[in-house]
Amino acid sequence: MAFDMIQQSSANFDARATGAKIDMLVLHYTGMESAEAASHRLCAPAAKVSAHYMIDEQGQIFALVDEDNRAWHAGLAQWEEKTDINSCSIAIELVNPGHEFGYRDFPEPQMNALISLAHVILARHPIAAHRVLGHSDIAPLRKTDPGERFDWQALAAEGIGIFPPKSLIQNMVSPNNSPLDHDVLRHEMKKFGYFIENGQENAVISAFHRHFRPELLNKSPDSTDLAILNWLNAVKT
């Protein structure tokens, strides 16, 4: 698939860990006031942060770090047993002011460019659908991006990532009087890949809601969350 890409090299990378295999795609938002400011930071040596690609709101793709190298994007993070997320992932930054500077929807040209780029990345690397994640999924205590306005369902409809169909979610809704077993909820979250320690459950629930049920953000988990997690764990490959 051909698309326009601008080479804009970042100095912020190093070698992937010996033996590391690329098996994750992590999506971020830039969280800065402009694309120019984000590009400068992602390329400036003093910032010590980068991504493999950046996509602006007009759909222009910028190549910053070669996929063979380790970009510095995840920070302190974990998914399943892995803590060196940078060594096993490809990172894409989506230009968006983020929650600090006026969070807004991701426009169609940007999403279309992301879909095109992601298809190329997934063709090159064995990345399972359940390992296409947001920064908030792998670092729920610190990060909220790409956030609740990001359309994960649209991405999954294009074969990128995993998301339960709306009809399936509606059929999952349990009676209001069904008690929620929080121990089972934690178990299913861990099984899917979220890292949970004591005191982290609320942050992880928020990350889960941002990704799969944004309408429930800042609300308590319910039995439908558990049903969705059961489905995710059943279908992940």
Which residues are part of the catalytic machinery? 93
Q: Which of 202, 98, 102 is nearest to 150 (CA)?
A: 98
Q: Quick one: tokens of 27?
A: 């999506």
Contact 112, 94 (CB under 8 A): no
Between the alpha carbon of residue 84 and those of residues 20, 28, 69, 118, the distances in Å are 9, 17, 13, 21
How buried is 198 (Cβ within 10 angstroms: 0-12 exposed, 13-18 middle, 19+ buried)?
Answer: exposed
Helix axes 182-192, 223-235, angle to 10 degrees: 30
> d(Cα 194, Cα 189) in Å, to the nearest integer?
6
Alpha carbons within 13 A on the beta-carbon side of 129: 18
User: CA gyration radius for the chain?
Assistant: 17
> d(Cα 71, Cα 142) in Å, to the nearest integer?
19
